[in-house]
Amino acid sequence: VAKQQFQTVRGMYDLLPDRRSLFDYAAAAFINVAVDAGYGRIETPVLEDEGLYSRSQGQGVDLVDKELYRLIDLSDKTLALRPEGTAGVVRAYLEHGMGSLPQPVKLYYQEAMFRYDRPQEGRYRQHQQFGVEVIGDASPSVDAQVIMLAGRAFKRLRLQGVTLQINSIGDALCRPKFRKALIDYLNENVKQLAEIDRERLSKNPLRVLDSKEASTQVILGDAPQMLNFLCEKCQQHFAGVLEYLDDLGVSYDLNPLLVRGLDYYTRTVFEFYGEREGSQSSLGGGGRYDGLVETLGGVPTPAVGFAAGIERILLEMDAAGVVPPEQQIKRVYVASLGEPARLAAFRLIESLLDGNVSAVGAVDRDGIGAQLARAEKLGVPLAVIIGQKEVREETALLRDMATGAQETIPLKDVVAELRMRFGIS
């Protein structure tokens, strides 16, 4: 016997049916709130020009510098596997002239993302995100609506312990002043900076703010805060966002150290955290990216969005003991006994499926006891049994799996009977 040679690639995983349906349950909560709020689904390719991602991010962003899956295709083009959804959606917005549609354009997606990071629980090299993007509206109410949408989905999933952190990181006008003040401050305290943060300081100083390093965190307490550097317009915008959230009684933590790992953000940034212990507790995050459309070649167009990691939401659901409400599966098991019944069972399964009734069964295998045991295991509420006598009389036995009660009905009525019992109209 040959030894198994292949396994999933490090950091990637298979989703088997049970987990997959939990996955769909979680994703559906987000999809439903997005559809209700008027978002349309978009799907962009997994592969894009590598330049899309390097252009949309600045210098020193891990997502591009360290985590991007690059590949060269057979005609020497440099492509990349999608590490995040926003850049591709903005590319599509421009490519399809969505700027001429009524604004804002509201899009949502649920897609696989690829990041070459060190795998651990809650961090994978292929993961799935649900995301929304609202392109073409600068109003603070839209930031608040995007935040509300995410919060509503967490609530629907009964994840009570999810908390929201929010900050404003200003715009091209005011951020440079803050950046300079931060660099000066960090340079004064460079001795206390962890090694990795000294590197960040030279490449992307704002990233030092969300450092997890203990020694760095000590000096961050007294670091300059962006909120004190916001220009008037950014200040007003942020006050507007908070006012809308306050109006709805949303609780949030103002976190002056929140900057997020991607470089296209302006003004509002926010992140949702779960209760689960560990560093991978960010369930989702987003913010405004008013400069990205222009960076990618469009006319200046404000935008805001959010994305959540579905695996992390599942881990959070596991920890909180959330399971989907149990639903009785509407499916019938067809069991047959003996040679003459074989063809009748085979035909019946197909006519049930033709008639929109979910049906399974083993046509030419196993004894009746084994078949019923299997039906039991599958959790089906009903079984149809066809034996020699039934074939002769053109009938079938309908068995209630919970009580074991059986009744005989004409074979030709089975599909209609099951449609009625399962409420299929």
Which one among 282, 295, 351, 358 touches ligand HAM, defined by CB under 6 A? 282
The strand pair at 266-273 and 163-168 is best described as antiparallel
Residues that contact ligand HAM, how many (by CB under 6 A): 28
- Tokens representing 268? 């509002």
> Considering the complex, what minimum distance in angstroms separates the CB of residue 217 from ligand HAM?
20
Least separation in angstroms between residue 56's CB and ligand HAM is: 10
Among 88, 224, 302, 309, contact with ligand HAM (rule: CB under 6 A): 309
If we measure between CA atoms, which residue out of 409, 375, 373, 389 comes closest to residue 341? 389
Q: Are strands 163-168 and 253-254 parallel, antiparallel or unpaired?
A: parallel
What are φ and ψ of residue 174, in 5° steps?
-100, -20
SS3 384: strand
* CA atoms of 271 and 39, how far apart (whole Å): 21
Smallest separation, CB 238 to ligand HAM (Å): 17
d(CA 214, CA 332): 59
- With 0-12 CB in 10 A as exposed, 13-18 as middle and 19+ as buried, what is 256? middle
Query: Using CB under 6 A as the criterion, what x/- string covers residues 69-88 for binding ligand HAM?
Result: ---------------xxx--
**Which residues on adjacent β-strands are paired with residue 70?**
80
Q: Does 274 bind ligand HAM (CB under 6 A)?
A: no
259 contacts ligand HAM (rule: CB under 6 A): no
Least gap, CB of 93 to ligand HAM (angstroms): 12
**Tally of CB atoms within 10 A around 293:** 22
Query: Closest approach of Cβ 143 to ligand HAM, in Å?
Result: 11
Residues 359-418 contacting ligand HAM, CB under 6 A: none
Cβ-contact 138, 319 below 8 angstroms: no
DSSP code for 363: S
Q: Which stretch binds ligand HAM (CB under 6 A): 166-174, 278-286, 356-364, 395-403?
A: 278-286
Rounded Cα distance between 302 and 108, Å, is 17
> Binding to ligand HAM by residue 136, rule CB under 6 A?
no
131 binds ligand HAM (CB under 6 A): yes
Q: Using the rule CB under 6 A, is 108 a contact of ligand HAM?
A: no
Residue among 48, 133, 137, 316 that touches ligand HAM (CB under 6 A): 133
* Residues contacting residue 6 through CB under 8 Å, at least 6 positions apart: none
Q: Does 312 bind ligand HAM (CB under 6 A)?
A: yes
Sketch the per residue contact string, 171 through 210, with ligand HAM: x for CB under 6 A, - otherwise: ----------------------------------------
Residues that bind ligand HAM (CB under 6 A): 84-86, 115, 117, 122-124, 127, 129, 131, 133, 261-262, 282-287, 289, 305-309, 311-312
